[in-house]
A and B are shown apart, each in its own frame.
Chain A
Amino acid sequence: MLIKKYKPISVVWETTLNCNMNCMHCGSSAGTQRTKELTTNEGLDLCKDLNELGTKIISLMGGEALLRKDWNIFANNIRDLGMNVTVMSNGWLINEKTISELIKIEPYAVSVSIDGGKAKTHDTIRGLEGSFYRCIKSLELLIKANLPATVITTVHKQNFKELPLLRDFLLNKGIAWQIQMANAVGRFPKNLILSKEEFYSVALFIASCRKKYSIKELPIMGAHNFGYHSKILPDIMVLPWMGCQAGITALGIQSNGGIKGCLSLPDEFIEGNILNNKISDIWNNPNSFSYNRNFKKEELGEKCKECKYGNRCKGGCLTVSSSLTGKNHSDPYCLRLIEKEMIVI
């Protein structure tokens, strides 16, 4: 009999919690590094173990990933092991020297966060004056070096109306654009979360951009908290939503070795620590990631239970669901649900 094993094919690794910015929406409340962050050797062992588990892509994230002096050692090692590496940055430290390192690494993507169409908005959200122009400069350097650049925009009440400005800036630049919703985790104030109507407007904006512009002109997509199964809009994610992948094909690693199915989940979801157990033992433990691996339709929230896609969807994004409702599998920011409540009267 064929036994199908779970594989953490996509890993997001918070290499440090140290950060040179102070973003109001930061889900991990980054700023200073955690006590006992992984050493270089522990990090290299981790990469080797992940490769043996079947990982295909590792995203280096922070805090600010580039603040670690050994970030390039990790990135080179990941590539040498045959995996893809993505570097996620706030853009402040991307300069000529970083670019020459990145060229050697051949990353799958280098993402820069831009959270406003105006410098003032971005700088206020990021808590660092001048950061908008540093981001723009970083993107110019990445494009000049022919590196695969991505802009990630985290939307909330203070910036979503500037999406048209950002769109105009990104048009015809060959930069991938990912839009995601800020969640009520970390230090983000709950009162700044998009309303359901605003959320739907952003989804409509993404759908409209995808219809109006070719993929070459504007490669735009909504992140995995922009779904699900709309009756009116086309799919705005890269692929159709197949349910939360935390602990199924996705894995998050904290800088101190803590393991979660997805890095955006709150700390109650930590399954173990690689400083105490091998990552393969944590990943292959039949009790790990039970919320997704042993999911049953009966666990869906009341509104999701009625949905014909419930079994596959698992109630949307687990982080949004747990942070807003206190329950798993009942993400209220669901396009289909919003349409039922507000549009298809």
Chain B
Amino acid sequence: MNERKERINAKLIKLGKSLELDSLDTIKAKRTIRNVITMALFAGALILLGSIMMPGGPAGLYYTAVSIKDFRILFGGLF
């Protein structure tokens, strides 16, 4: 398990170097349990809205140039 994890980390560090990422930043970029749960909740909400509103739900709203307003709406608490 650890060997596999090390192999993944080594590959990521190599890939990150081409864009000047140091090894610490690269390893920190990996997903966390929190990321997984947050996105699962978002996906669940989209599926639910899609099933009661219209096919696709509001997914298409973010299908064009992103706006700073999108970040404020979706991640408002972080501003």
Contact = CB atoms under 8 A, between A and B. Distances in A.
A233 B31 CA distance: 5
Interface of B: 4, 7-8, 11-12, 15-16, 18-21, 25-26, 28-32, 35-36, 39, 42-43, 46-47, 50, 53-71, 74-75, 78-79
B19 A150 contact: no
A57 B46 contact: no
A161 interface: yes
Is chain B's binding surface mostly helix, strand, loop or mixed?
A: helix
B39 A219 contact: no
Contact of A245 (B16, B28, B60): B60
A71 B17 CA distance: 43
A10 B66 CA distance: 12
Contacts of A186: none
A232 B54 contact: no
Interface of A: 4-10, 12, 54, 56-57, 59, 86, 88, 108-109, 111, 148-150, 152, 160-161, 163-164, 174-176, 178, 197-198, 200-202, 204-205, 207-208, 210-212, 214-216, 219, 221, 223-224, 230, 232-235, 237-240, 242, 245, 248-250, 262, 293, 342-345
B35 A234 contact: yes
Contacts of A86: 64-65, 67
Contact of B8 (A7, A198, A215, A343): A343
Given A57-B64, A240-B46, A344-B4, 8 more contacts: A12-B64, A54-B54, A59-B65, A214-B78, A233-B31, A239-B74, A343-B11, A343-B12
Given A160-B19, A208-B28, A233-B30, A57 B61 contact: yes
7 contacts: A10-B60, A148-B67, A152-B65, A208-B29, A219-B71, A239-B59, A240-B43
Given A86-B64, A108-B69, A343-B11, A242 B18 contact: no
Nearest to B69: A148
Contact of B54 (A7, A215, A219, A235): A7
A178 B71 CA distance: 12
Contact of A150 (B11, B62, B66, B75): B66
A122 to B, nearest CB: 18
A55 to B, nearest CB: 10
B32 to A, nearest CB: 7
A53 B26 CA distance: 45
A56 B61 contact: yes
Nearest to B75: A215
A116 to B, nearest CB: 14
A261 B55 CA distance: 14
